Structure 1
Amino acid sequence: MKEQFNTALSNLVDKLIGWFNAIIESIPNLILAILVMVAAYFTAKYVSRLVIRLIDKRVEQESIKGAISRVSAVIVVALGLFMALGVLNLGKALTSLLAGAGVVGLAIGLALQGTLANTFAGLILSFRKKIQIGHWVETTGYSGEVMDINLKDFTLKEADNNIVIIPNKTILDNPLKNYSLTTKMRVFIECGVGYESDLEKVEQLTKEVIANTFDQVETAENVEFYYTEFGDSSINYLCRFWIDAENMLEKLRAKTKAIIEIKKAYDKEGINIPFPIRTLQFDSKLDVNTSDIKETFAKN
């Protein structure tokens, strides 16, 4: 029993001595690994600031800038960690770490498909020059000013001051109309005049009113005017012209102003803008006998 105890104690001492010697031998590598991690930490901070400078003019959203800079910093630190493990001769641990990271990444990716899709879509939208904060856009049935683009959603403020939050993935998967990419917008006005009106006079008067109301319309010839149909109570027309505008609010204000001025001119010239009228005509010459009606109902 005593010999077994002495043997076990000797093995334990040998094992401890071996570990101590291994630690002593590994001190230079350990110091080097620590230096690598410290260098990676400071390099990550520098890279983070550098990335922010590089994307500052391309991306306006602070949330996107911060996310990209943090991702770049994490990549640098991860590279430093892999180098440090290599210096410590922990190749197997490094392989196991990479394998574990791959499995965990796959599981997280499957669990967060929607979130990751919106995140990557947000990054893509942030670098698109044709979609910027302040632009007036229309998409998926909503129209308004772009207020924010972050890693999760796309925020619009409609003309009635309502806030609409749309997932980034939806924006990429659907058509988007951007009114702010052009400096001109076309205004459409549909109206009708009475059948007794002088149609040539109506056309000339409408064009002159538009040309005199808007500085962007140089002459009456720049105004398009087309009669479209013989309506139930009026002859209808379509008038359209270009204005300098970058959002729907300016277009609506211009259309309102045009309608007011056209109505004033029509009233001054005595041009009628009729509303639907139904005329009931009671001139039947049938001889209706009350007794016959009563007899008919009695038979039925």
Structure 2
Amino acid sequence: MENLQSFMEQLPDLVMAYGMKVILALVIFFIGKYFAGLAKRITANVLSRKTEKTVSSFVSNMAWAVVFTFTVIATLGQLGIQTASLVAVLGAAGLAVGLALQGSLSNFASGVLLVMFRPCRVGDYVEAGGVAGVVDEITIFATRLKTPDNKVITLPNSSLMNGSITNYSAMSTRRLDLVIGVSYDADIKKTKQLLIDILENHEKVLKDPSYTVGLHALADSSINFVVRPWVNSSDYWPTHFDLMEKIKLALDENGIGIPYPQMDIHVKELPSTAAK
């Protein structure tokens, strides 16, 4: 009873002493969290004026992580936890953590390399790691892609850097590679001139570099022409669809057939059948 009475007498002092520490720790945590978000926004705004979105997004995420880490350490220090000892323990356990998180560290290192060497940027359409899409964001550990059908793919940074990256937006122009097959009965010169006229009159086909139209192959069922115009990268697919439609309509109007796969079968009469 005496111990309980003594505890009750000391309770207000304990609440005042430790309660204020907890309150101050919470205040430090939420203020620090706010400043972490503020540092991220300010860094992104400042860098976006001087650098591209890829760099500003990556660095702003790093700024948030640094400020938030210091906030956690300051919060623990306010609660009376010896942060110096904590840092020493974390340093001693760093090797084990590094081995356990080597995949994440690899993603982090790959993220740094992505920002430094810039094989792809935010807004580029790329194919990497077995998937394809528009780069939406490059974070510390992963890169987010948006597919043409509006799906979101989160790809580890190491998957990008450890494999090949095909960047379809890196160059301002691209070449369309079309193969047009016509019947063996078609007039070759007339067909070639018809294809040239379509390219000459198309507003999105570039004159420099010049297009190519040529007889490519004498295939099993058709004579194949290659049609290779250059277009702006942003006009690639619209021009592809439009040219295919215009070519088909022009061939129909000029009586030039597009053959279906066919096979000639020769039936030879057997001697026994002939005798009967």
Same fold (TM over 0.5): yes
Distance in 2 (CA, whole Å) between partners of 1:161 and 1:290 is: 70
Distance in 1 (CA, whole Å) between partners of 2:167 and 2:231 is: 16
Q: Which residue of 2 is the match for residue 69 of structure 1?
A: 63
Which of 92, 107, 123 in structure 2 is aligned with 1:134?
123
Tell me the CA shift for residue 116 of structure 1: 1.8
**Which of 135-144 and 125-134 deviates more?**
125-134
Q: Which residue of 2 is the match for residue 18 of structure 1?
A: none
1:202-257 C-alpha deviation (Å, 9 max, x unpaired): 111101112212343349x93201222211121112110100124xxx42321111
Q: Which residue of 2 is the match for residue 185 of structure 1?
A: 174
Alignment gaps of 5+ in structure 1: 1-40, 81-92, 292-300
TM-aligned CA distance change 1:154 to 1:51, over 3 Å: closer
Q: Which residue of 2 is the match for residue 107 of structure 1?
A: 96
Tell me the CA shift for residue 68 of structure 1: 2.0
Q: Does 1:240 align with 2:228?
A: yes
TM-aligned CA distance change 1:116 to 1:190, over 3 Å: same
Is 1:63–1:151's contact at 8 Å kept on the other side of the alignment? no
Distance in 2 (CA, whole Å) between partners of 1:290 and 1:142 is: 65
Distance in 1 (CA, whole Å) between partners of 2:135 and 2:45 is: 24
Which of 270, 277, 289 in structure 1 is aligned with 2:255?
270
Tell me the CA shift for residue 76 of structure 1: 8.0
Tell me the CA shift for residue 60 of structure 1: 3.0
Distance in 1 (CA, whole Å) between partners of 2:157 and 2:106 is: 8
Is 1:234–1:274's contact at 8 Å kept on the other side of the alignment? yes
Q: Does 1:162 align with 2:151?
A: yes
Distance in 2 (CA, whole Å) between partners of 1:51 and 1:231 is: 60
* Residue-pair matches, total: 236
Tell me the CA shift for residue 198 of structure 1: 1.4
Distance in 2 (CA, whole Å) between partners of 1:170 and 1:269 is: 51
Distance in 2 (CA, whole Å) between partners of 1:241 and 1:182 is: 15
- Aligned-pair identity in percent equals 26
TM-aligned CA distance change 1:73 to 1:165, over 3 Å: closer
Rg (Cα) greater in structure: 1
Q: Which amino acid aligns with 2:62?
A: I
Is 2:173–2:232's contact at 8 Å kept on the other side of the alignment? yes
TM-aligned CA distance change 1:103 to 1:276, over 3 Å: same
Distance in 2 (CA, whole Å) between partners of 1:165 and 1:105 is: 27
TM-aligned CA distance change 1:217 to 1:100, over 3 Å: closer
Q: Which residue of 1 is the match for residue 10 of structure 2?
A: none
1:3-22 C-alpha deviation (Å, 9 max, x unpaired): xxxxxxxxxxxxxxxxxxxx
What root-mean-square deviation, in Å, do the aligned CA atoms of Structure 1 and Structure 2 show? 3.8
Distance in 2 (CA, whole Å) between partners of 1:70 and 1:60 is: 16
TM-aligned CA distance change 1:111 to 1:59, over 3 Å: farther
Question: Counterparts in 2 of 1:212-231, with a 5 A limit?
Answer: 212-218=201-207, 222-231=210-219
Tell me the CA shift for residue 260 of structure 1: 0.7
Tell me the CA shift for residue 67 of structure 1: 3.4
Distance in 1 (CA, whole Å) between partners of 2:178 and 2:162 is: 33
**Which of 225-234 and 99-108 deviates more?**
99-108
**Which of 115-124 and 202-211 deviates more?**
115-124
1:34-70 C-alpha deviation (Å, 9 max, x unpaired): xxxxxxx99xx79x58866764443636763443224
Distance in 2 (CA, whole Å) between partners of 1:52 and 1:157 is: 21
Alignment gaps of 5+ in structure 2: 1-30, 75-82
Q: Which residue of 2 is the match for residue 144 of structure 1?
A: 133
Is 1:211–1:223's contact at 8 Å kept on the other side of the alignment? no
Tell me the CA shift for residue 276 of structure 1: 0.8
Is 2:43–2:63's contact at 8 Å kept on the other side of the alignment? yes
Q: Which residue of 2 is the match for residue 30 of structure 1?
A: none
Q: Which residue of 2 is the match for residue 279 of structure 1?
A: 264
Is 1:195–1:235's contact at 8 Å kept on the other side of the alignment? yes
Tell me the CA shift for residue 109 of structure 1: 1.0
Tell me the CA shift for residue 97 of structure 1: 7.1
TM-aligned CA distance change 1:277 to 1:186, over 3 Å: same
The TM-score, its normalising length taken from structure 2, stands at 0.69
